[in-house]
A and B are shown apart, each in its own frame.
Chain A
Amino acid sequence: MKAAILVFPGSNCDRDLAVAFRAAGFETEMVWHKETELPRGVDIVGVPGGFSYGDYLRCGAIAAQSPIMRAVAGFAGKGGHVLGICNGFQVLCETRLLPGALMRNAGLKFVCRMQGLRVATTDCAFTGGYKPGQDVVFPIAHHDGNYQIDAEGLARLEGEDRIAFTYVGNPNGATADIAGILSENRRVLGLMPHPERVVDPAQGGSDGATLFTSLSEALVAA
């Protein structure tokens, strides 16, 4: 199994994400944003956290226009799995691979802390190893994590069971406490919290490891 991890100017969680994938049994390959194709044999693309292009214009807006994102959109269109974390979630919304948008936190402050979350669905390759409704703790570290979607879009996410994680205690004003959502085909996940920062007890927690092992089990079985 191979995970491709995108690297933009300003990405800073790319290597952490590679470590988390490798711990779950993936080979990893870093892919620079100027590339126009993904490496052969990729099973999943990771879009890492950070501050791509210095968050200029809007978080993720410039990265969304990079050559590699066209390849990622094609990969997702063919049913490929994509995981976007924090800035990666912002990039996926800006490319319209996921609906909605991430705005400045309602409290205006950059929020950096351990955050309780609820696993809102286990019906996808990313969360299959959690128990439905399980509470987990992942770190959050963001200034623009306030997820916004219109009422119709929210009803659709709820009706199709596409909300993957919700906050227990909303840190940023996100609509319906949404921390992470799935695409219509359930193969693209975007979330603000950082599962890759809690994959080993030495990091102060290992709740995130299940996400990567779930993926590895689901993709091997596929």
Chain B
Amino acid sequence: MKATVTVMLKQGVLDPQGAAVKSALGALGFDGVEDVRQGKVIELDLAPGTTEAQVTEMCEKLLANTVIESYRVEIG
């Protein structure tokens, strides 16, 4: 079983890396980019029987810092 965890900065938290990527895309002539948010994707290979609730607990305890980040879990 696989779980994919996507961690993003919360809306409203300034994302300096996303802003730099947006500006670099603009420099390449891609001027249709209105905003860029950069996050990370964490893939977990899970033993059978691991529950989505456990993955959520992993996110809360370690994978995301919920002060500034939000996360999304996809199983399978």
Contact = CB atoms under 8 A, between A and B. Distances in A.
Contacts of B67: 93, 99-101, 148-150
Interface of A is mostly: loop
Sorting the interface of chain B by its residue count into under 10, 10 to 19, 20 to 34 or 35 or more gives 10 to 19
B63 A101 contact: no
Given A57-B62, A57-B63, A61-B62, A105 B68 contact: no
Given A57-B63, A61-B62, A65-B62, A103 B13 contact: yes
A132 interface: no
A54 to B, nearest CB: 15
A23 interface: no
Contact of B68 (A101, A107, A173): A101
Nearest to B20: A108
Contacts of A173: 14, 16
Interface in B1-19: 9, 13-14, 16-17
Contact of B13 (A94, A107, A148): A148
Contacts of A61: 62, 65
A93 B66 CA distance: 12
Contact of A103 (B20, B62, B68): B68
Contact of B16 (A57, A101, A108, A149): A108
Contacts of B9: 103
A148 B68 contact: yes
Interface of A: 57-58, 61, 65, 93-94, 99-101, 103-108, 146, 148-150, 173
Q: Which 3 pairs show the lowest CB-CB distances between chains A and B?
A: A101-B67, A101-B68, A106-B16
Interface of B: 9, 13-14, 16-17, 20, 62-63, 65, 67-68
